[in-house]
Amino acid sequence: MKKDIIKINNLSIKTKVNTNLYLVDGISFSVKEGKTTCIVGESGSGKSLTALSIIRLLSPQLKMSGEILFNNEDICKMSELEIRQKRGLDIAMIFQEPMTSLNPVLTIGYQIKEAIAVHSDLPNNKINKKVEELLILVGIPVERVNSYPDELSGGQRQRVMIAMAMSCNPKLLIADEPTTALDVTVQAQILKLLDDLKRKLNMSMLFITHDFGVVEDIADDVIVMFKGKIVERGEVNHVLKKPKHPYTKALLGCVPDALGKKQLTPIDYEKLDRAIQRL
């Protein structure tokens, strides 16, 4: 049986201003070695906050409690220096919007190189060689190494973010809606690239999305979040084919079929709340 690469126990996140307002409310889950776990839910459900808590990048205005075990080490108890040594090396993250995550005044080659240099003592010529290998790995011509982010398409910028995240062969990759704002063809390419890299490197992946179509393509296990809580979880085929929670059923009702013949049903939140109260 695969062991847990990361295990989260009773994670809660709330604001320091209103201590009664929980943005993430006592969630627990794990991600197994070499597997992809998807967290799915609408905007504001706590998906991205959960991801940011794992690498300790939450806003200072938020307070986190609970336990986050990475290879049996509690991330919550690490010093700032210790967690900085983990970020990018053992745990990497692809952020939601590459144009705001990449520095517009630095070349993509420099930014990938910087990600490697922080966590290695390789000589400059070997780092440059690795940058070229990473660009090839994610499907960007080596000739673009001196290009700036605004000279690339949205899909290419996302590939640069993937190259940066993969630069130190992390054990866990967190992907926060990496296909947002990409067209369908590019989205499929990015998903295939991530899945291929996961298998090649035996890497674990925590993939955040609001799209059940993406979940079906890439996930081994799925977690459904609603209002900061986990309302359903399980193997992807089981959750998609036999959803139990009213919210999961409501989300699936919004997913179109391939032929466009399915009658889509918008979520009636008053009806949904009544259904949840009856559980």
| Paired strand residues for 74 | 69
Residue 260 has pLDDT above 80, yes or no: no
Q: What is the pLDDT of residue 179?
A: 81
Average confidence (pLDDT) over 252-263:
77
Q: Tokens 């053992």, residue? A: 90
For CATH 3.40.50.300, the residue range(s) in the chain are 1-90+171-243
Q: What is the pLDDT of residue 154?
A: 85
Strands lying side by side in the sheet with 22-32: 22-32, 4-15, 62-70, 73-74
Q: Is the pTM of this model over 0.75?
A: yes
**114-146 residue pLDDT tens:** 989 988 889 999 999 999 999 998 889 999 999
Q: What is the C-alpha to C-alpha distance for residues 186 and 193, in angstroms, rounded to an integer? A: 10
Q: Tokens 């996961």, residue? A: 198
Q: What is the pLDDT of residue 184?
A: 81
Q: What is the pLDDT of residue 201?
A: 83
Q: What is the pLDDT of residue 51?
A: 95
Q: What is the pLDDT of residue 1?
A: 67
Q: What is the pLDDT of residue 279?
A: 80
**43-88 residue pLDDT tens:** 899 999 999 999 999 999 999 999 999 988 999 999 999 999 899 8
236-240 contacts at long range (C-beta below 8 A, 24 or more positions apart): 236/38, 240/212, 240/215, 240/216
Sign of CA dihedral 101, 104, 107, 111: negative
Q: What is the C-alpha to C-alpha distance for residues 86 and 1, in angstroms, rounded to an integer? A: 25
Q: Which fold has domain 1-90+171-243?
A: Rossmann fold (3.40.50)
For the chain, give the mean pLDDT: 90
Q: What is the pLDDT of residue 197?
A: 86
Phi, psi of 274 (to 5 degrees): -65, -40
Q: Which residue type, as a one-letter code, is found at position 43?
A: S
Average confidence (pLDDT) over 22-47:
94
pLDDT greater at residue 65 or residue 178: 65
Q: What is the C-alpha to C-alpha distance for residues 23 and 50, in angstroms, rounded to an integer? A: 9
Q: Which of 111, 65, 72 is nearest to 88 (CA)?
A: 111
Q: What is the pLDDT of residue 214?
A: 86
